[in-house]
Amino acid sequence: MRLIEKTAIVTGAASGIGRAVALRFLAEGARVAGFDLNAAGLEETGALAGELRTAFVALPCDLTSEAQVMRAVADAVAAPGHLDIVFNGAGASGRRWGDGPVDACSVTGWQRTLDANLTSIFLVCRAVVPRLTASGGGSIINLGSVLGMVGGDADFATHAYAAAKAGIIGLSRAMAVYYAPRGIRVNVIAPGLIATPMSQRAQESVHIQRRLAGLQPLTGAMGRPEDVAAAAAYLASDEARFVTGVVLPVDGGWTAQ
């Protein structure tokens, strides 16, 4: 119960890591506003919260739309009157749009992948910084990836996605320094392969499953969304009051090699 009386925004709350973070924040005592394009998924997250459902507000929105982000943030803060925590977990694989190696990546794939994974975080951060400042500070946690830290081989050759995740690290560290005097902490969680709907391709690939012992040697398996949620709960809490500008891998040892 480290987040009692805290108000949090969680993007991507309709499934996967975002859902796990929303549920963990609720369990820690926070009031949570869930943002996602998937309205039905947000309702499912609320149902999974059980008796804590009254502390969850579903706010469907397109996170690549400036107007919709501004409106959703205003709605999230209206009732409690303050904002303390923001977890930016929304994102998407760009393969469906044409992401791939640079020489094969389409311009559409590049732009849509950056919009979904990086521009969306910029828009949310721009909207929430004044709210966090008015509340006396707070915690922003941005979801990166190991692919924003190390090069991916042929099995992970989505270069627009890697660029977006690396951009999240650069943006977050710059914000951490600039907004530190306002009491705003900004950190990144960089997961490895986590068993979520977005990683379905990897989950179904016998080849990649066989590689897990080398990629993530701690368990030789994919991580769970709850592993990332546990890290987010720490970074959101006052226990991390002296932590900012950090990139925290939750990757079973991938980036330690």
Long-range contacts of 105-110 (CB under 8 A, 24+ apart): 105/159, 105/160, 109/160, 110/160
Long-range contacts of 144-150 (CB under 8 A, 24+ apart): 144/168, 144/169, 144/172, 144/188, 144/189, 144/190, 144/191, 144/247, 145/190, 145/191, 146/190, 146/191, 146/192, 146/249, 146/251, 146/254, 146/255, 148/190, 149/190, 149/247, 149/249, 149/255, 150/254, 150/255
Q: How confident is the model at residue 199 (pLDDT cuts 50, 70, 90)?
A: confident
pLDDT of 197 higher than 90? no
Average pLDDT, the chain: 97
Indicate which residue of 161, 178, 179, 234 is catalytic. 161
pLDDT of 1 higher than 90? yes
Q: How confident is the model at residue 94 (pLDDT cuts 50, 70, 90)?
A: very high
Pairing, β 247-250 against β 85-88? unpaired
234 is catalytic: no
How large is the average pLDDT for residues 233-250? 98
Task: Quote the pTM value.
Answer: 0.96
State which H helix or E strand residue 185 sits in.
strand 184-191
Domains of the chain, with CATH numbers?
Answer: 7-196+224-250 (3.40.50.720)
Whole-number pLDDT of residue 194? 97
Above pLDDT 90, what percent of the chain?
96
Q: What is the pLDDT of residues 103-162, one digit of tens each?
A: 999 999 999 999 999 999 999 999 999 999 999 999 999 999 999 999 999 999 999 999
